[in-house]
Structure 1
Amino acid sequence: MKSGFTRRGFLAVAAASAGAAVLAACGGTGRRTQSGSAPTGDPVRGGTLTISDTQAVPSWQNQRLSTYSSGNLVFPVLVYLLYFDPKAKKLVPWIASEWSHNPQNTEFTFKIRPGVTFSDGTPLDAEIVRRNLDRLGKGDPARNIPANAYLKPGYDRAEVIGGDTVKVVLTKPNQDFPLRVSQLQNGLVAAKTLELDLTEAGKPENVVSAGPFVFESQVPNQEVVLRRREDYAWAWQGSRNQGAAYLEKVVWRVLPEIGLRTGALQSGQVDIARGVQPIDEPQLTSGGFQVLATRPTLGTSNWAAFRLNHPIVSDERVRKALQITIDRDEMSRTALSASFPPAKSILNVEHPAFVDHSKEFAFDPARGRKLLDEAGWVPGTDGIRVKDNRRLELTVPQDAQQAALNGAWEYIAQQWRQELGVVLNVRNDATFATAAQTDAEVPIVVSRISVVSLAQQFGGAGNTSTLVEEPGLVAFRERELNAADDAALAQIQREEQQYLLDRAYVIPVFEEAQVYGVSSQVNLEFNATTYPLFHTAWKAA
Structure 2
Amino acid sequence: MRSRNSRLGTAAALAGLIAGTAMAGCSTTGMDASDTITIALAANPTGAFDPYRNREFGISEVAPFTHDSLLYKTPEGEFVSRLAATWKADNTSATFTLTPGITCADGSALTAKDVAAAINFASDAANASWAYGYYTPTAPLTAVGDDASRTVRVTVAQPYGYLLDTVGLLPILCAAGVKDPDSLANRSNGTGPYVVSAVSTGETIELKRRDDYAWGPDGTTVADAPATVVFRQIADETTAANLLLSGDVNIANVSGPNSDRVRAAGLDSADAYTAAAWLNFNQREGRATSDRRVREALVHALDFKEVIAVSTNTHGVAAEGLLVTEPAVCPTNAVAGVLPGQDLERAAKLLDEAGWVLGSDGKRVKDGVPLTLGLRYWTDRSELERPTAELLAARWKAIGVGIEPIGENVGGLVKTLYQTGNFDVYLLGWDLRLGSQFIPYLSGPLPPRGQNFMALDNPEYVKLSAEANATTPPQGCDLWGKAERAVVNDFDLVPISNRVTSLFYRGVTGQLTPVEPTSLRATQ
Normalised to the residue count of structure 2, the TM-score between the two structures is 0.80
1:379-434 per-residue CA deviation (whole Å, 9 max, x = no partner) reads 3223333344333321111214310322222222222333x333332111447644
Q: How many Å separate the matches in 2 of 1:147 and 1:54?
A: 21
User: Aligned residue for 2:298?
Assistant: 322
Are 2:225 and 2:520, in contact at CA under 8 Å, matched by a contact in 1? yes
- The worse-fitting range, judged by mean Cα deviation, of 78-87 and 155-164 is 155-164
Are 2:356 and 2:366, in contact at CA under 8 Å, matched by a contact in 1? yes
Q: 1:409 aligns with which of 366, 385, 389?
A: 389
Q: How many Å separate the matches in 2 of 1:245 and 1:372?
A: 62
Aligned-residue sequence identity (percent) comes to 20
Are 1:336 and 1:407, in contact at CA under 8 Å, matched by a contact in 2? no
User: Aligned residue for 2:27?
Assistant: none
Identify if the C-alpha distance between structure 1 residues 512 and 535 changes in structure 2 by more than 3 Å, giving closer, same or farther. farther
Write out aligned runs for 1:142-541 (5 A): 149-150=132-133, 151=136, 153-160=139-146, 163-183=149-169, 186-195=170-179, 197-204=180-187, 207-237=188-218, 244-274=223-253, 276=254, 278-290=256-268, 292-295=270-273, 302-308=277-283, 309-348=285-324, 350=326, 351=328, 352-355=330-333, 357-366=335-344, 367-403=346-382, 404-418=384-398, 420-430=399-409, 433-437=413-417, 438-439=419-420, 442-447=423-428, 448-450=430-432, 451=434, 452-462=436-446, 463-481=451-469, 483-511=470-498, 515-516=502-503, 518-527=504-513, 530=514, 532-541=515-524
Q: How many Å separate the matches in 1 of 2:287 and 2:232?
A: 44
Q: How many Å separate the matches in 1 of 2:58 and 2:271?
A: 16
Are 2:309 and 2:315, in contact at CA under 8 Å, matched by a contact in 1? no
User: Aligned residue for 1:46?
Assistant: 34
Name the SS of the counterpart of 1:199 in structure 2.
helix
Are 1:229 and 1:244, in contact at CA under 8 Å, matched by a contact in 2? no
Name the SS of the counterpart of 1:455 in structure 2.
helix
Q: How many Å separate the matches in 1 of 2:171 and 2:412?
A: 31
Matched residue pairs, number? 482
Q: Give the partner amino acid of 1:233.
A: A
How far 1:318 sits from its partner (Å)? Answer: 2.1
Q: How many Å separate the matches in 1 of 2:375 and 2:168?
A: 32
Identify if the C-alpha distance between structure 1 residues 94 and 363 changes in structure 2 by more than 3 Å, giving closer, same or farther. same
Q: How many Å separate the matches in 2 of 1:92 and 1:321?
A: 47
How far 1:364 sits from its partner (Å)? Answer: 1.8
Are 2:297 and 2:351, in contact at CA under 8 Å, matched by a contact in 1? yes
How far 1:272 sits from its partner (Å)? Answer: 2.5
1:225-277 per-residue CA deviation (whole Å, 9 max, x = no partner) reads 2223334332224x9x6654532321112233444433333333222234x35
Identify if the C-alpha distance between structure 1 residues 380 and 471 changes in structure 2 by more than 3 Å, giving closer, same or farther. same
Are 1:398 and 1:426, in contact at CA under 8 Å, matched by a contact in 2? yes
How far 1:199 sits from its partner (Å)? Answer: 1.1
Are 1:193 and 1:201, in contact at CA under 8 Å, matched by a contact in 2? yes
Q: Say if 2:56 is the partner of 1:67.
A: yes
Identify if the C-alpha distance between structure 1 residues 189 and 172 changes in structure 2 by more than 3 Å, giving closer, same or farther. same
Are 1:213 and 1:227, in contact at CA under 8 Å, matched by a contact in 2? yes
Q: How many Å separate the matches in 2 of 1:70 and 1:455?
A: 17
Are 1:306 and 1:465, in contact at CA under 8 Å, matched by a contact in 2? no
Identify if the C-alpha distance between structure 1 residues 121 and 25 changes in structure 2 by more than 3 Å, giving closer, same or farther. closer
Are 1:45 and 1:246, in contact at CA under 8 Å, matched by a contact in 2? no
1:117-142 per-residue CA deviation (whole Å, 9 max, x = no partner) reads 4455544343432343344345999x
Identify if the C-alpha distance between structure 1 residues 519 and 250 changes in structure 2 by more than 3 Å, giving closer, same or farther. same
Normalised to the residue count of structure 1, the TM-score between the two structures is 0.77
Are 2:312 and 2:498, in contact at CA under 8 Å, matched by a contact in 1? no
Q: Give the partner amino acid of 2:395.
A: Q
Identify if the C-alpha distance between structure 1 residues 262 and 45 changes in structure 2 by more than 3 Å, giving closer, same or farther. closer
Name the SS of the counterpart of 2:319 in structure 1.
coil
Q: How many Å separate the matches in 2 of 1:369 and 1:378?
A: 9
How far 1:333 sits from its partner (Å)? Answer: 2.8
Q: How many Å separate the matches in 2 of 1:315 and 1:221?
A: 40
Q: How many Å separate the matches in 1 of 2:13 and 2:221?
A: 23
Identify if the C-alpha distance between structure 1 residues 381 and 434 changes in structure 2 by more than 3 Å, giving closer, same or farther. farther
Are 2:214 and 2:221, in contact at CA under 8 Å, matched by a contact in 1? yes
Are 1:343 and 1:358, in contact at CA under 8 Å, matched by a contact in 2? no
Q: How many Å separate the matches in 2 of 1:194 and 1:435?
A: 24
Identify if the C-alpha distance between structure 1 residues 139 and 326 changes in structure 2 by more than 3 Å, giving closer, same or farther. closer
Identify if the C-alpha distance between structure 1 residues 540 and 327 changes in structure 2 by more than 3 Å, giving closer, same or farther. farther
1:439-462 per-residue CA deviation (whole Å, 9 max, x = no partner) reads 455222233242533333212222
Q: How many Å separate the matches in 2 of 1:408 and 1:24?
A: 19
- Structure 2: 5+ residue runs without aligned partners? 1-7, 15-31
| Cα RMSD (Å) | 3.5
